[in-house]
Amino acid sequence: MTAAPTPEILAAFEAAEGFMPLDEGLALYAAAVEAGGLGLPLLEVGSYCGRSTILLADAARRAGVTAVTVDHHRGSEEQQPGWDYHDPRTVDPELGVMDTLPMFRRTLHRAGLEDHVVALVGRSPQVAALWNTPLGLVFVDGGHTDEHAGADYEGWVPHLAPGGLLLIHDVFPDPRDEFTGQAPYRVYLRALASGAFTEVSVTDSLRVLRRTRATG
């Protein structure tokens, strides 16, 4: 039977700010619970205000491991002032720049999950360069440019343990989605072309791949 969150966790997820729809969230949760069986941390790149982190953290709690989030909390390119997806509440009133960290922390506190998350605040490539721990899951959900999505893949996939799961969000094969999903789509194709991954599931824009051997 596929693992599912409790009604309380599901309610916290649906109440949190963010863009992940329910069906993708349920697929994320099931994958995270499975990956937690490896006994290794579960890592998310790009957490925004913590909507998906709720599911990752609860799956980590269930498995007795830790969820790790990596985000500079200054917003991705489509979440800046003036863009369609911008939320004015995420702007620091004193500095006038994006800062989603306070909302992220409130989200986890309200869900009772703070003790199960290690939040790393910084740029993904810089954090990855310092990282030395094997991971059971890598969830790529950061910037949507080739530069950012590619760097997330290159920085974190080497730390993914054999049998671990690579999740890529916002995978849109249609070229009309160039700004929102073509870079993640190209990362997805790159992972498959490497020969190191096999596809586990597809849920709308979420792809779940299993690492079957080392990358070249």
Active site residues: 144
Residue 32 sits at the vertex; the CA angle it makes with 62 and 174, to the nearest 5 degrees, is 155
> Encoding tokens for residue 151?
């760097």
Contact indicator for 51, 17 with CB cutoff of 8 Å: yes
Q: How many CB atoms lie within 10 A of CB 213?
A: 11
| Angle CA 79–85–86, to nearest 5 | 55
Antiparallel, parallel or unpaired: β 42-45 and 135-140: parallel
Q: Which long-range contacts (CB under 8 A, 24 or more apart) does 90-96 make?
A: 90/49
Helices marked H in 112-210: 124-130, 146-156, 183-193
Collapsing DSSP states into helix, strand and coil, what is residue 71? strand
> CB-based contacts of 154: which residues, under 8 Å, 6+ apart?
none
